[in-house]
Chain A
Amino acid sequence: MSIVFFRIDDRLIHGQVMTSWAKVCNANNICIVDDGVAKDTFICQIMKMAVPREMSICTLNLVDGIEKLKNDPESNRTIVLTKGPENMLALVEAGIPMKELNVGGMGTKPGRKNVLRNIQISPEEIEILKKIAAKKIRVFFQIVPDDKCLELEKI
């Protein structure tokens, strides 16, 4: 095993939300792929503090993230986390194997409208998710494992 879960959440690692997904997929590593986060040493420190204790974490820009995930050790059970759909599409296009993509948290921004409690999305972002889904990847909206789940084709 290597990558066990792909998730979009612009709040990144936060409390019980991440802990609950890590439990469900028995993950031991989190890899955040985001150019802005990778160069913000303050946010990197906060993410290290927020990660569940038994898990390791890396924060990488897109280029380094692709490289790292291509060579992710078999002993890792990694959750890949991005702030938005753009980097997920880039990972897929770079050949990172993905079967499912969870959209779990996107806040309010101009042009975005509400689809689920914590999830707002713009038509452009939906198009990106559709491109990902076109590669036979299941795209679903779900905030926490116990919550209801909404498939991309239903919105």
Chain B
Amino acid sequence: MIKVILASHGGFAKGMLEAAEMILGPQELLEAVGLYPGNTSEDYAEKLDKIIISWGDAENTLILADLPGGTPANMGALLSLKKGVTCLAGCNLPLVLEVLSGRKFLSMQELTASAIELGRESLRNLTEELARIEN
């Protein structure tokens, strides 16, 4: 099973974890790590690394980061270079749900491909869609 770390600025990761468990029920092998004011990049990378080490399965560990180019994503990418985990950035809740629903059955490659596709597709302007239905 793919192990998942949600990585974000502030409490977004914890919030996504809470939302995901509200929808899918309690999850195992899922952690949320927030970057808070005062944290250095090194401190943050160490927090991620500690979880990776405790799970001891880097190649089946997936870091889902919030903002491409931001420190959580940068440190996730750093650990993908150093430890061989996989890191995606630009995550939204539909993507996270897709990952959590498919992680028992899919390989890392299949899982990340389908999650990215779903994450992109799920950005929708509902107001415009409704206007189209009304007409």
Contact (Cβ within 8 A) A14 B40: no
Please give the number of chain B residues whose Cβ is less than 8 angstroms from any Cβ of chain A in the complex.
Answer: 17
CA distance A107 to B45 in the complex (A): 13
A125 to chain B, nearest CB (A): 14
**Number of A-B residue pairs at CB separation under 8 A:** 53
Which residues does chain B contribute within 8 Å of A12, judged by CB atoms? 41
Contact with B82, one of A10, A42, A52 (Cβ below 8 angstroms):
A42
Kindly supply a per-residue 1/0 record for chain A positions 38-80, scoring 1 wherever the CB is within 8 Å of any chain B CB and 0 otherwise: 0000110110011010000000000000000000000000000
| Residue A117 is within 8 A (CB to CB) of chain B in the complex | yes
Which residues does chain A contribute within 8 Å of B78, judged by CB atoms? 42-43, 46
Contact (Cβ within 8 A) B40 A108: yes
| Residue A110 is within 8 A (CB to CB) of chain B in the complex | no
Sort chain A's interface into a size bin.
20 to 34
Contact (Cβ within 8 A) B81 A45: yes
Which B41-56 residues have C-beta < 8 A from chain A?
41, 43
CA distance A30 to B101 in the complex (A): 41
| Residue A118 is within 8 A (CB to CB) of chain B in the complex | yes
Given contacts A50-B69, A109-B40, list 19 more A-B pairs with CB under 8 A. Answer: A10-B41, A11-B40, A12-B41, A14-B69, A15-B68, A15-B69, A15-B70, A15-B73, A16-B70, A42-B82, A43-B78, A45-B81, A46-B78, A50-B74, A107-B40, A108-B39, A108-B40, A108-B43, A118-B38
Q: Which residues of B contact A (CB under 8 A)?
A: 37-41, 43, 67-71, 73-74, 77-78, 81-82
Q: Which residues of A contact B (CB under 8 A)?
A: 10-16, 18-19, 42-43, 45-46, 49-50, 52, 107-109, 114, 117-118, 120
